[in-house]
A and B are shown apart, each in its own frame.
Chain A
Amino acid sequence: MSQHDGDYDEMVGRILHAAADLADPADDGLDRIRARLETPYPRPVAWLLTASAEVAGRALSGLLSASARLQAVLAAASERLRAGLGARLAPPPRAGPAGHEHEAVTRLQDMPGWSFRASGGEVLDGAAPLRLPGLLRRSLPASRADRGSPWRGVRWRRLAPAAAAVLVAAVAATPTALSHVLSGRHGPAWPQQGGSAAESEAAAWVAAQVSWSAGVACDPGMCLVLRAHGVASVDQLGPAAAYPRRASVLVVTPAVRSEYGRRVSSAYAPAVLASFGSGSQLVQVRVTAPQGAAAYMSALRADQHGRRGYASDLLFGGQILISGAAKKQFLAGLVDARLMVAISAVAGAQPIQIVDFGDSGPGASPGVPLRSMDMALDDAAAHMGTAAYASALKAVLTGMRQDPPTRILTLRHGPGGLPVLRVEYAAPTPLGILSGNGAA
């Protein structure tokens, strides 16, 4: 490339940069992307998907009923065929030991274990002389038909019911296989519609509190409700299917309880994050235990132990002022480890006053960590105004490289209207952060 070409290249580059700099994108790009991620399909597409699922469901049920009718017809035809064969297989009067038939009988008798059960239940053994059906006899050359090879007869007669059975099984299996392919479900149908008050409350809670990246397992009806609340990462359960261990959270509806029974709490999802409704309408949001319930509870206890020790260390420096009830929770190791790391980060930069901890969810199991805290914004020890102090705390929190908070809100707390900074983390709480073991 010549110097001249290089000059042109540089000039074109400069002009393109200058022109492109005039294109100034709006500041809400990230919000728009996030909104798109929360509602993955435009409304008409979502409607179309729902409608097509319904149509497919109806088509499948029609196919199933047609298959049932076809099975009945084929079964009757098979019975008639076998009855006809039975009649043909009935032993004719023996013609005496001489001739081809005698040879055939001899050969069949020599075959070990040969027997044949006719439709009437009569066991035919190799002693019974066999004849080809009339149609086949006529289609064969006279010499061979006259020979009356017993092997041909045996094969045909033995294969006919088997072929009919295979045909019937294939017809019966087709809609089921189609159903598997189209819906990914197995076994009996699950409720396709949700929407009880408790389910709606649970969906709203999941949408607000559960991490976007956490898979949420649910029955088909509940999944619809969750999607309507903007929860995109749903993992639909299938009846009789293996429990989806990929999901982090399981929404336990009456349908899920009836499918999985006590295994839900004893094996799959031991801890309740939040529960809504009561009795038969109870809906629980549970955290799943991929390694089993015992392993999860053990990890939770170990995590709480680690949090307890770390809490004592944090309070030792005197940078953290904490009220009575909150202090008890903190020292008892009931606060989410991510929150403790955040407290450590802000306390390293500014003196802080923790008003309280919260957001464990209604009806949460004991020991489920508290994922939010309110910090007072009027802290005399900080020696700065409310706005400046809030900005300083936010700067520390948003600058955290590991586990920055899910949400930071400035609001008024309690009847006195004390301005506070609320710091929240999404559910479920990862275990093992303080011990460095990672997620449990």
Chain B
Amino acid sequence: MTAAERGDVDGRLDVTEVISARAATVSELTDRDVYSAVTELYAAHYRSLVRLAALLVRDTATAEEVVQDSFVAMHRRWRLLRENEKALAYLRRSVVNRSRSVLRHRAVVERNAPKPAPDMPSAEHGAIVLLERSAVVAALRTLSPRQREAVVLRYYGDMSEAQVAAVMAISPGAVKTHTARAMAVLRSVLEDEA
């Protein structure tokens, strides 16, 4: 059906699409519609995941891409995940891993890129300016990737050490170490600010 066939109401096309949550008929996923689950998770967690990724990659647009990639990957693995809780854990892990990949790739690009002109803003300009008004957030950049992940997951994600350990695929002891070292750096920044 084309837009012309549909016609307009009040001079504009008013189309609302709703993703079905019907019980799948014959497919293997009989209990729930995958797309409905994706929509549900999106509504509940997309924004917070983008913000978490933004703290890691320091760029909102890249953070959005990272989270969208994670949702697509989660959808493809839904047959293994099935439950929202598992799916959310997968999403968090995926966001952290993909953020790490972005940073790794960015480091390589920056290493090999020609020196920019002094008045040329960097690719991250804008978002970072906004995000790094605080010296603490700026200090996040100086941390190692693992330390940054641990701090962001622990203090922005409000996760327990065990949850952080699961997301980062390391031991709770390692989480404790990374967090303590990162907090030592951030504390010194806070003390300097005070």
A binding-site residues for B, Cβ under 8 Å: 5, 8-9, 11-13, 15-26, 29-30, 32-34, 36-37, 40, 208, 211-215, 246-248, 288, 290, 338, 377, 386-387, 390, 394, 397-398, 400-412, 417, 419, 425-426, 428-431, 433, 438-440
Contacts and interface: CB of A to CB of B under 8 A. Distances in A.
B97 to A, nearest CB: 18
A377 B10 CA distance: 12
A182 B45 CA distance: 40
A404 B155 CA distance: 37
> Main SS of chain B's interface residues?
helix
Given A25-B64, A26-B64, A20 B42 contact: no
B20 interface: yes
A11 to B, nearest CB: 6
Contact of A8 (B28, B51, B183): B183
Contacts of A409: 6, 14-16
Contacts of B19: 404, 406
A436 to B, nearest CB: 11
A439 B20 contact: no
Contact of A401 (B6, B15, B21, B46): B21
A23 B20 contact: no
Contacts of A338: 22
A425 B183 contact: no
Contacts, number: 192
Contacts of A401: 21
Given A16-B137, A37-B75, A24 B60 contact: yes
Nearest to B186: A12
Contacts of B54: 20, 23
A246 B28 CA distance: 7
Contacts of B90: none
A378 to B, nearest CB: 11
B18 A405 contact: yes
A19 B23 contact: no
B190 A8 contact: yes
Contacts of B186: 8, 12
B62 to A, nearest CB: 10
A15 B139 CA distance: 12
B27 A37 contact: no
Given A29-B68, A406-B19, A12 B183 contact: yes
Contact of B20 (A9, A34, A406, A440): A406
B136 to A, nearest CB: 5
Nearest to A338: B22
8 contacts: A20-B52, A23-B55, A37-B35, A247-B27, A248-B26, A290-B26, A387-B10, A433-B23
A214 B26 contact: yes
Contacts of B7: 411-412, 417
Most chain B beta-carbon contacts within 10 A, residue among A19, A21, A214: A19
Interface in B123-151: 127, 130-134, 136-137, 151
B161 to A, nearest CB: 12
B21 A9 contact: no
A118 B30 CA distance: 63
B27 A248 contact: yes
A323 B35 CA distance: 34
B29 interface: yes
